[in-house]
Amino acid sequence: MATCPLCSARSGKRYCPAKDTQICTVCCGSKREIEIDCPSSCSYLKASRSYAAEKPVLDPQLVAKIQKYDSGFIERFHHVLAAINGSVAEERLNSPWLVDSDVIDVYKALGTTMRTLSSGIYYESLPEGTVRVSLFRRLKNLFDTLMQPDAAGEHPVLKASDAVEVLEFVTFAAQMNTSTRPRSRRYLDWVSETFGSFQPQQSSGLIIP
């Protein structure tokens, strides 16, 4: 049996689609979504998500506001949430290297931007990196549209203060459904499965606060 190319110490017993070779179980578990950019189709990645003991790092200010994210909030902003998730799914098709932490940082940057708009002193708070800026621009254009009168009259104009609340919610949902691993795409997989063309074989089971 061939030696694992990642550690050169143990036998390679698991096929790694990211590396296109057999790696050992230890490297598979310890380097997954850290040093290895695991594809969402990997069976070992899917299995690990079912038994993941890792806890995401949550923003304490968002945790303190969890009470307002009830069914009434979801129903009120359902069309906005669906539009955000659909836009993220579209962006992922253009940027397959996008990871959960990128999306969370973009949500936070947009939230900061919308707070300045709500206060009357507008300032655009851009995230760092071309991948994040691209998603920021896509979502900012979406919010600009939602904050204009709806030609069909189906939905009210989204206020800047409401946009801040929605962005707080999606930030919290993303934080709840990712992991501490820097290349985690657990949240993105759920978004793509539900609102995009990407269909993983196993649902990631999004947790709604």
pLDDT per residue over 146-159, tens digit each? 999 877 777 889 99
Residue type, 135: L
DSSP code, position 158: P
- Residues sharing a CB contact under 8 Å with residue 167, sequence separation 6 or more, in sequence order: 107, 108, 110, 111, 114
The DSSP result for 133-150, as a single string, is: HHHHHHHHHHHHHHTS--
Distance CA 5, CA 13 (A): 11
Domain boundary assignment for the chain: 56-195
Q: What's the rounded mean pLDDT across residues 26-37?
A: 95
Cα-only R_g, the chain:
19
- DSSP designation for 129: S
Please answer whether residues 103 and 129 qualify as being in contact, where contact means their C-beta atoms are separated by less than 8 angstroms: no
pLDDT for residue 32 is more than 70? yes
pLDDT tops 70 at residue 57: no
Q: Does residue 61 carry a pLDDT above 60?
A: yes
- How large is the average pLDDT for residues 84-112? 95
pLDDT tens-place string over residues 132-179:
999 999 999 999 999 998 777 778 899 999 999 999 999 989 988 888
Mean confidence (pLDDT) of the chain: 87
* Alpha carbon distance 198, 144 (integer Å): 27
What burial class does residue 3 get, using C-beta atoms within 10 Å of its C-beta: 0-12 exposed, 13-18 middle, 19+ buried? middle
